[in-house]
A = this chain, B = another copy of it.
Amino acid sequence: MRLIVPLRGVVQGRGGLFVGSLIPCCIFYCLQLYLKRRSPPPPPDSDSPRTSSPSTASPVGLSPRAVPLTEPLVSQYYIGLERAKTDPYDRISNKDGIIQLGLAESTMCFDLLTRWMSDNLMDSLMMKINEGEFDIRRIAMYQPFEGLWELKVAFADFMSRIMGGNVYFDPSNMVIIAGGNPAIEVLAFSLVDHGNAILVPSPYYSGFDRDIKFRTGVELIPVHTRSSENFTVTVSALEQALNEASKRGRKVSAILFSNPSNPVGNIMSRETLHDILKFAQEKNIHIISDEIFAGSVYGDKEFVSMAEVANSSECDKSRVHIIYGLSKDFSLPGFRAAVIYSFHQDVVSAAKKLVRFSSVPVPVQRILVSLLSDTRFVEEYLAAHRERIRDKHVRFVDGLKRLGIPCAESGGGLYCWVDMSGLLTSYSEKGELDLFERLLSVAKINATPGTAFYCVEPGWFRCCFTALADEDIPMVMGRIKKLTEPSRS
């Protein structure tokens, strides 16, 4: 009773409506807040009713968040890969088949790998304990999911080696993980909350979408770069993208990029890396540097790891996280072997927990310990890999040049970034997709169009050349040439 009296008084005086409604409104609002905090939070991405609704008629459904996973992937990256699989080129058995330039894999040094495996595979897997008796325990039994310590040491040494010995990697900052895909997912989950965002300089590798969006609920925001700057990202572009995200209420928690860039193949300069680190420091966000092509550098430009920049900077390096793996530089995608390297001890701890879902089987770890520790072979392999990639790149780019087709300036990666805008029937996304289709059906080549990488300029295509035999390059050029000639139909 006493509580109501003052209100009544105010209501009946001057300004009665305003104050007389404000106070009960506040009470009503607080009541709602109280009730809201007591109720359980709603599930994210869910439109389903919260109570179980027995229904014997309709078949049981998936969780709403998994429903998109039942649909086919629509990017031209996947469409091209699948199309090429339906009619794959083979020099002997299917000469008119589709040539796969869509997959970044390399067969260039399989002669060396075959030799090493023939000589060492058995010994690396099965160590003899007594006279002639193998020890099955070292491959069959449980081992720490985060990876064998010996493998971390070997990986750290190998990474340092391919990066010119300019950076030391501490094995205790490392988690061994079954490929780049889970490495990216684990970092996205650990650094960025559901509904928050990551800035990604574009054109960027299509796989980032899949690896991050399938489960983590994190948004990727492309930060467009231009051919006029050879697709190099600037801090002002990052700043602008972050501000625009903030305006629409999106919190940006990280920057993700591949270096050497996938699909362009350009290498980030030390200065650019410093600028990005400084920017990340200012905004208090993370950096994920995907350096999976670090050992596939063929130009004159030096590759610099973000780890090296972090070590030499005054910035807080705990925001820097590196991804590396053996699928590209060691041509072993079938081995599913990668690492997360983080300067943040909590990120290492979280990754150690999550890697139980993405651990590398012990037999594969044993093979890799032997392989990466064989420094004589590693040096021989790396030298051959670089020499052969340089040679193959020259052959491929020269072939295109003779057709009047230029490539972006690049220094690493298993591909080149080809400017086919001269072959477009219209300078637009539609024109690019038409060319993609003509490449597949007329030239019988699967090259991935820029649209799949969020490139804003039409006509750019990624062509992976490291699984091509030298003798097939002229044929690829001959096929592309068909599209440069006026149609005779």
What chain B residues lie within 8 Å of A133 (beta carbons)? Answer: 114
Contacting pair B12 A283 (CB below 8 A) = no
Q: With the chains together, A256 CA to B115 CA distance in Å?
A: 48
Chain B: which residue is nearest A48 at the CB level? B193
Q: A301 within 8 Å of B by Cβ?
A: no
In the complex where A46-B193, A346-B62 touch, is A337 in contact with B319 (Cβ < 8 A)? no
Q: Which of A154-189 contact B (CB under 8 A)?
A: 178-179, 181-182, 185, 189
Q: Which residue of B lies closest to A125 (CB)?
A: B121
Query: What residues of B have a CB within 8 angstroms of the CB of A125 in the complex?
Result: 117, 121
**Contact present for B7 and A17 (CB under 8 Å):** yes
Contacts A134-B114, A185-B357, A362-B335 hold; do A251 and B51 have CB atoms under 8 A apart? yes
Is B360 a contact of A357 with CB atoms below 8 Å? no
Count of chain copies = 2
Say whether B16 contacts A11, CB under 8 Å: yes
- Given the known A-B contacts A194-B65, A283-B52, A362-B334, are A353 and B214 also in contact in the complex, defined by CB atoms under 8 Å? yes
Q: How far is the CA of A214 from the CA of B215 in the complex (A)?
A: 13
Min distance, Cβ A128 to any Cβ of chain B, angstroms: 10
CA gap between A360 and B16 in the complex, in Å: 73
Say whether, besides A65-B194, A136-B117, A189-B65, A20 and B28 are in contact (CB < 8 Å).
Answer: no
Query: Is A4's beta carbon under 8 Å from chain B?
Result: yes
- Give the residues from 209 to 248 in chain A that come closer than 8 angstroms, CB to CB, to chain B: 210-211, 214-215, 217, 242, 246, 248
Distance between A324 CB and nearest chain B CB, rounded to angstroms? 17
Min CB distance, A371 to chain B, in Å? Answer: 11
| Smallest Cβ-Cβ distance to A66: which chain B residue | B190
Q: A42-B195, A63-B190, A126-B117 are in contact. Are A214 and B332 (CB under 8 A)?
A: no
B residues less than 8 Å from A122 (CB atoms): 121-122
Q: Mark A195-214, 1 if CB is under 8 A from B, else 0.
A: 11000000000000011001
Q: Does A376 contact B (CB under 8 A)?
A: no
- The interface-forming segment of A103-111, A392-400, A410-418 is A103-111
User: Is the Cβ of B181 less than 8 Å from the Cβ of A357?
Assistant: yes
A118 within 8 A of B: yes
**Known contacts A60-B344, A194-B43; is A350 also within 8 Å of B284 by CB?**
no
Q: A62 to B350, Cβ gap below 8 A? A: yes
A32, A143, A335, A363: most-surrounded residue (chain B CB, <10 A): A363
- Are B17 and A52 within 8 A (Cβ)? no
Interface string of A257-298 (1 = CB under 8 A from B): 000000000000000000000000111111000000000000
C-alpha spacing A122/B334, complex, angstroms: 17
Is A101 in contact with chain B by the CB < 8 A criterion?
Answer: no
A137 contacts B by Cβ under 8 Å: yes
Residues of B within 8 A of A357 (CB): 178-179, 181-182, 185, 211, 214-215, 357-358
In the complex, the answer to whether B63 meets A354 with C-beta atoms within 8 Å is no
**Which residues of B are found within 8 Å of A362, using beta-carbon distances?**
334-336
| Those of A100-150 within 8 Å (CB) of chain B | 103, 105, 107, 110, 113-114, 117-118, 121-122, 125-126, 133-137, 139-143
Closest Cβ neighbor of A42 among chain B residues: B195
Q: Is the CB of A69 within 8 A of B190?
A: yes
Q: Is the CB of B121 within 8 A of A136?
A: no
Q: List 25 A-B contacts (CB under 8 A).
A: A11-B20, A22-B24, A29-B29, A41-B44, A41-B195, A43-B196, A43-B217, A45-B193, A51-B249, A52-B283, A54-B283, A60-B284, A62-B190, A62-B350, A64-B193, A65-B193, A66-B191, A105-B141, A110-B140, A141-B333, A181-B357, A215-B357, A357-B358, A360-B361, A363-B367
* Given A60-B344, A70-B346, 6 extra CB contacts under 8 A: A11-B20, A52-B246, A55-B284, A63-B193, A65-B194, A179-B356
